[in-house]
Amino acid sequence: MTPVEIVLVYQSLLGIYGDRGNALVLRQRLLRRGIDATLTVVEPGDEVPSTGSLYLLGGGEDAAQISAVRELKADGHLFDALDRGAVLFAVCAGYQIVGRTFTVGDHDEVIDGLGLLDVTTRRGSERAVGEVLSSWTRPDGTESLVTGFENHGGFTYLGPDAAPLARVEIGIGNCGDGTDGAVQGNVLGIYPHGPILARNPDLADHLLERALGHELDPLPMPELDELRRQRIEAVRKSGLRR
């Protein structure tokens, strides 16, 4: 069987918050199930492969966002991969650039994004910094909590073609409207990083199942479940509801 290819896009531009860990988590969760998986790391100037099953974009600063958009548009292969049915997961700055527009700098210059999500981002009324806790709905209709750390100055607003990925319990998320992230087709974005998938195995498996086109066998990890329970309890006790 051909290995599942996970593609980490522009680590040096969009990887300053440890978001490379998302790729490592995804690969390990496949390998522990006996599914062969490879990790391809693509840097600016490299050709983005169109053969991947799952693509990842991480967080970065304003200049990195502009450079990443320019490079990805010129390369074009990410768009080809998505047309073929691949999945894209983008966090923080990566989430902003896959939208229609985002703003940068003191003068809020409007930059055209990749146009993969019907969202727009502009400077928010406050900076969102701190733990964020939200919930998303699994394909079977059950709820799963998402825990992470948000640190973003932009507020993101969803258009009619994008649906919220999660509902916020604690934190700001997209723009303080009770939502975080967006999903449209096989493109998913959300704000928490750090990396988010190390904290949220259900979300990691959801991405893998979307990329593979079938459900995965359970992967029990009691120690991870206990760490999640403790973290969620601590966030709720902190009283950081905004």
Residues classed as catalytic: 92, 193
Strands 87-91 and 101-104, bridge-based pairing = unpaired
Q: How far apart are CA 10 and CA 80, in angstroms?
A: 17
Strands 143-158 and 119-137, bridge-based pairing = antiparallel
- For 136, the token pair is 């998303």
Please report, in angstroms and rounded to a whole number, the separation of the first and last CA atoms in the chain. Answer: 48
